[in-house]
Amino acid sequence: MGITESLLGKKNVDGNPYIEAIDPPASLPGGEVKIVGRSLKPPQLARPEVMFNGVRGSLVVSAEDFLIARVPYGAHSGQVTISNNGHTSNGRELKIAQPIAESLHPVSNPAVDQEGNIYVTYSGGRGQKVPVAIYKIDTNYNVKPFLSDLMNATGMAFDPQGQLYVSSRYDGTVYRVAPNGTMTTYAEGMGVATGIAFDHERNLYVGDRSGTIWRIAPDRQIFVFATLEPSVAAYHLAFAPDGKTLYVTGPTTSSFDAVSTVDSHGTVSVFYRGLGRPQGMAFDTQGNLYVAASLQGKRGIVRITPDKKASLVVAGQNLVGLAFTRTGGAVLVTTNSVFHLTWGIQGLSLI
């Protein structure tokens, strides 16, 4: 039973506005959240006022038992209240991600190293040479150029030694980048190379969006690991906590796309179907999968439990990926900006 239905039949004794729940419980600035409660709409033609930790938000839909409001820029995590007819409701907490960098061009997950530094691409259009391909954001959120001589940087992953691997969808090459920014070629001929991920045995997997998942052994032998339906954008890869099951998203022309799994033998199965344009993914330590996607027409971060129950947990437009930090937070990236969300979720380490 949904949160709206759970309130049916309840009476508001004093007639003052009351907030029962906020869905989803976290948002980017500009995201839309549903506020469910009682006596939320004032009488006659007046409009309620929604405050996000002291900053006024804008109403999208107003009804007696629910409101849809847009989270304002400049608001921080804290209490949401509704005022109407001279009365102010109780407060309910909403976590709001904070911007830390903009004017970038991520097309997949960011990467976070062992020290907590964040790496984000400026990928550019196909064949576009940009001045800086990857930026490094330190723990004080200072943004600095990290890597320049790479065309169309796409997927990123760290190996256990702390070296960064980056795919180029332009030349089908995976590059290895040392901490000082020195770049060398690791593997070539990966087609339209997009998402990459390491398993527990240090095999590197590369998604060629034309329909192939490649496996590169530690000695650099290359194998065709699995074949899938081609993607109109990119394959995004992530390993489950067992380090053996590979999860893959790849947007198609359908609005009802799937998250697929590939077992250690290369057998492809559908894990969950029903997402719109699913992209970057990450796991928490409990085995929940988080995907930048749309669910039932609402864009944000979708959580899918191991028993395949999906829910929107972060609202936000243009999200393409995420990565968990070691301190219970998450780095969320849109098509041009980077945000940090103090979330309280322990993410699965990718290193």
Give me the residues of the chain with pLDDT under 70, please.
1-14, 44-45, 350-351
Q: How many domains does the chain have?
A: 2
- Are 53 and 123 within one domain? no
The answer to whether residue 111 is domain-embedded is yes
Whole-prediction pTM value?
0.94
Contacts of 351 (CB under 8 A, 6+ apart): 113, 114, 158, 159, 160, 162
If asked whether residues 82 and 228 sit together in one domain, one would say: no
Report yes or no on 350 lying in a domain.
no
CA distance 205 to 23: 36
What is the CB neighbour count within 10 angstroms for residue 340?
18
**CA–CA–CA angle 100, 126, 97 (5° rounding):** 20
- What pLDDT does 351 receive? 60
Three-point CA angle 270, 272, 275, nearest 5°: 120
Residue 185 maps to which CATH number?
2.120.10.30
- Within 10 angstroms of residue 245's Cβ, the number of other Cβ atoms is 16
Give the pair of three-digit tokens for residue 231.
């993607």
- Asked which of 96, 112, 143 is the last residue of a domain, the reply is 96
Range of the domain at 143: 100-342
Residue 254 confidence (pLDDT):
87
User: If we measure between CA atoms, which residue out of 2, 27, 37, 18 comes closest to residue 78?
Assistant: 27
CA distance 198 to 179: 18
Residues 105 and 83 in one domain: no
